[in-house]
Amino acid sequence: MFADARSKRIILVAHCLLNQNAISDGTADFPSQFTGVIDLLMANGIGIVQLPCPELLCVGLDRRDRQGGSRPLLEENTRIRNLLNKEGSVALLRSRAADVAAQVREYRSNGFEVLGLVGVNRSPSCGVETTTRDNCEVAGTGVFIEVLSQVFAESGQPVRMLGVKTSEARESVERLGQFLGRQAAG
């Protein structure tokens, strides 16, 4: 089955890495997408599965405050994190995470290699190694990554994760290259 030109290799990617238009006000580092990350994935024949944008889904494009972009970044991220941690938002994120886990299961059951997930460090929602809490960038995961990790574990679908930063483009692309190299060897 699937004996055609497809690579049968995919990676899950945070929504805003493919669409900077969805990111919170004042934080976009690119006009449209993080081309360094996308170019690297495309050059290696890796299919890109775009994750839903948890912030857009739960609090809207303006993040429930049209003045949010005028706040210091870490203060605004903390405000957004607090909104995402509300019961209704967490339930919505859990539902979306279950959809993502079902996709991972479907790919794997058909012989595809799921190379991992690329999130966005410092993000209150998609941070992998760091997130924002109490107006500081701290070690830990964003709200959506935390929910995704729980759902992946519950469904027996573990997924390796890497966080990048659009503000550290060169270093992020290098780290992703190393992550993919380890995956390809494994």
Q: Which residues of the chain have pLDDT under 50?
A: 184-186
pLDDT of residue 182: 64
Residue 4, domain member (yes or no)? no
Q: What pLDDT does residue 173 have?
A: 97
Predicted confidence at residue 21, as pLDDT, reads 80
Structural domain includes residue 153:
yes
pLDDT digits (tens, 9 = 90+) for 4-19: 889 999 999 999 999 9
Q: Which two tokens stand for residue 46?
A: 């890796």
3 domain-assigned: no
pLDDT at residue 85, as a whole number: 96
User: One-letter amino acid identity for 127?
Assistant: G
Does residue 2 sit within a domain? Answer: no
- What does pTM read for this prediction? 0.93
Residue range(s) defining the domain that contains residue 167: 9-185
d(CA 150, CA 158): 9
What CA–CA distance (Å, rounded) separates 27 from 127?
14
Q: Is 150 inside a domain boundary?
A: yes
Query: Domain tally for the chain?
Result: 1
Which amino acid, 149? S
The answer to whether position 1 is within a domain reads no
Q: Would you say the C-alpha torsion 37, 42, 44, 49 has a positive or negative sign? A: positive
Specify whether the CB–CB gap between 174 and 25 falls below 8 A: no
94 near 147, Cβ under 8 Å? yes
Say if 21 falls within a structural domain: yes
Q: For 132, phi and psi rounded to 5 degrees?
A: -115, 130
